[in-house]
Amino acid sequence: MNVYRHILIAVDFSPAAERLLRRGLDIATRYEARLSLLHVVEYLPFALDNELIMPAPLEIETQLFNSARARLAKLAELTGAPATAEQLVELGSTKVEILRIAEARGVDLIVIGSHGRHGWARVLGSTANAVMHGASCDVLAVRTSA
């Protein structure tokens, strides 16, 4: 029996996303694994007292969702993801949503980008790091920058 049966690829829309997705697809093919693609729209609550005129949050959320769904679908098509791959867009904290979906779906491998070793990521700790600590399954951190 294959070790990895359900692989979750966490996709942002950075320049490295295509490479990450291709790498995840490659491993999913080799393991004949079920595949889920997830993009998380980070939620930024509004300050109600600011003076900028902005659309209602609900409307913005809908726009963000629709835009993210379209970009994810386009990326999946570009990289030749199988039609059976589930495409998910969630709203919230990237780390929390990745772990929540992984648990809920019984995922056994999370593929995530690891953004280099420089700058703030090194100080604050990356999402990949947080996911690795929280996950109850294996995590493949794909190097996405030097």
Q: Under the rule (CB under 8 A), what is the footprint of its own copies?
A: 3, 23, 26, 30-31, 114, 117, 122, 126, 128-129, 132-143, 146
| Residue 34 DSSP symbol | E
**Token code pair at residue 96:** 């929390």
How far apart are CB 65 and its own copies at their closest, in Å?
A: 30
Helix (H, G, I), strand (E, B) or coil at 54: coil
Helix (H, G, I), strand (E, B) or coil at 104: helix
CA distance 127 to 115: 9
Instruction: Compare residues 50 and 136 and give the one whose CB is closer to its own copies.
Output: 136
Instruction: Compare residues 61 and 138 and give the one whose CB is closer to its own copies.
Output: 138
Phi/psi at 79 (5° precision): -95, 0
Instruction: Compare residues 27 and 41 and give the one whose CB is closer to its own copies.
Output: 27
How far apart are CB 128 and its own copies at their closest, in Å?
A: 7
